[in-house]
Amino acid sequence: MTTTFAFGLGLSRHSASGAMLDCYFPRPLLNPRGGLLDVLSELSPGTQEVTSDQALAIDHAYGGGLLPTSSPSSKGNLVAVKLDTDDAIDSTAEAYLKLHLLSHRLCLPNSLNLDGIFAHLPNVAWTSAGPVAIDELTDAISQAHLEGNQLEVFAVDKFPKMVNYVVPTGVRIADASRIRLGAYLGEGTTVMHEGFINFNAGALGPNMVEGRISQGVTLGAGTDLGGSASTMGTLSGGGNITISIGENCLIGANAGTGIPLGDRCTIEAGLYITAGMNIQLVDENGESLGKVKARELAGKSDMLFIRDSQAGNILCRTNRQAIELNELLHQHN
């Protein structure tokens, strides 16, 4: 019997011309097992529309829960995506399945092959009536006015907000529009109003996020990303370097990093560390140990980055004080 890497039974929405706009997978599966594999063996790899009877048979083989509570009628919006291997994305539905796998915490950021995702995600107007094709938006707005209604357009983007598809357990999100589908939010994570988490990025939890987590970046448990702090992602000048921040770190307000950090690291407020920056190493007594490029410190733990307020040098010394987040901030009950 062949194995299946991932599977999703979803509900898709389409434009008037028939182009798929989005796809919702209530319960995506990673490496499905048991009797479900027998049913899935009858499906071809990739994306395909299924009938209501086929969808119910798949749901029954799993034991229920793959479909919404009210089983949809056969309107051509039932979609099955079977991925035997983790290859490049080949359809809109495949892109949505992989984004769901991330936001459902089934896969960690940077663990999935997302090649082709931008080519297969249509740019969509996300509205109070759901996704609308861009070339149909003017007519939709006009129709709403004719009916005495207001069509609210929240965004024009390839990625929808996560909470319209997935709401992870044990999190607080102050502004849901700033969390894209495909973000990974671990248990105990709080995202404040100005916090932003891109797709294929995340906070492993518990975390306090008041800054920006760029694509491909992850925060370890207990790390605090201060107000307006930022991380350099692979799509924003980071090249091929994957930026990660370890556990119990503090990135101060308006600070940031373009190098990976280990555990228990602190960057003072307003200081942005880039790979080519000259860093003055100092011992616990403040004596100089020489200069290095910041990239030579990538991934190391127990570092404290501060500025010499008189000379203007960037200093790095051992960080003896691990940052502990206020437990009250991470209560989600």
Are the C-beta atoms of residues 52 and 78 closer than 8 Å to each other? yes
Tens of pLDDT along 64-81? Answer: 888 875 555 544 489 999
Handedness of CA 262, 268, 272, 278 (dihedral sign): negative
pLDDT surpassing 70 at residue 324: no
CA–CA distance, 244 with 33 (Å, rounded to integer): 32
| Beta-carbon-side half-sphere exposure of residue 112 (alpha carbons within 13 Å) | 30
Supply 69's token pair.
Answer: 């509570």
Query: Nearest to residue 140, comparing CAs of 16, 13, 17?
Result: 16
pLDDT surpassing 70 at residue 332: no
* % helix, strand, coil for the chain, step of 5: 20, 30, 55
DSSP H or E segment with residue 119: helix 117-120
For the chain, state the CA radius of gyration. 23
Mean pLDDT of 38-51: 92
Mapping DSSP to helix (H, G, I), strand (E, B) and coil, where does residue 146 land?
Answer: helix
- pTM of this structure: 0.92
Residue type, position 115, single letter: D
Which position among 210, 287, 296, 327 bears the catalytic label?
A: 210
Handedness of CA 309, 315, 320, 325 (dihedral sign): positive
What one-character DSSP code corresponds to residue 8? E
CA–CA distance, 238 with 272 (Å, rounded to integer): 13
pLDDT for the residue numbered 267 = 97
Q: Domains in the chain, please, with CATH?
A: 6-120 (3.30.70.2010), 125-157 (3.30.60), 162-330 (2.160.10.10)
pLDDT for the residue numbered 328 = 44
Mapping DSSP to helix (H, G, I), strand (E, B) and coil, where does residue 95 land?
Answer: helix
Question: Phi and psi dihedrals of 139, rounded to 5?
Answer: -65, -40
pLDDT for the residue numbered 312 = 84
Where is mean pLDDT largest: 41-45, 259-263, 319-323?
A: 259-263
List the single range of 72-76, 81-85, 147-151 with lowest mean pLDDT: 72-76
pLDDT surpassing 70 at residue 333: no
Opening angle at CA 220, ends 215 and 224, nearest 5:
90
pLDDT surpassing 50 at residue 26: yes
Helices (H) and strands (E) in the chain, counts: 5, 27
pLDDT surpassing 70 at residue 204: yes
Cis peptide before 131 (omega within 30 of 0): no
pLDDT surpassing 50 at residue 131: yes
Tens of pLDDT along 210-254? Answer: 999 999 999 999 999 999 999 987 654 445 678 999 999 999 999
pLDDT for the residue numbered 8 = 96
CA–CA distance, 98 with 30 (Å, rounded to integer): 10
Known catalytic residue: 210?
A: yes
pLDDT surpassing 50 at residue 326: no
CA–CA distance, 319 with 123 (Å, rounded to integer): 45
Higher pLDDT, 238 or 57: 57
Are the C-beta atoms of residues 185 and 191 closer than 8 Å to each other? yes
Query: Nearest to residue 97, comparing CAs of 4, 167, 164, 24?
Result: 24
Question: Phi and psi dihedrals of 117, rounded to 5?
Answer: -65, -40
Q: How confident is the model at residue 170 (pLDDT cuts 50, 70, 90)?
A: very high
pLDDT for the residue numbered 266 = 96
Query: Nearest to residue 84, comparing CAs of 32, 38, 121, 24?
Result: 32
Question: Phi and psi dihedrals of 128, rounded to 5?
Answer: -65, -10
Q: How confident is the model at residue 202 (pLDDT cuts 50, 70, 90)?
A: very high
Supply 94's token pair.
Answer: 């495949």
pLDDT for the residue numbered 167 = 97
Mean pLDDT of 187-216: 97
Average pLDDT of the chain is 91
Supply 127's token pair.
Answer: 């509205």
Mean pLDDT of 78-89: 96
pLDDT for the residue numbered 322 = 47
Tens of pLDDT along 267-288? Answer: 999 999 999 999 999 887 777 8
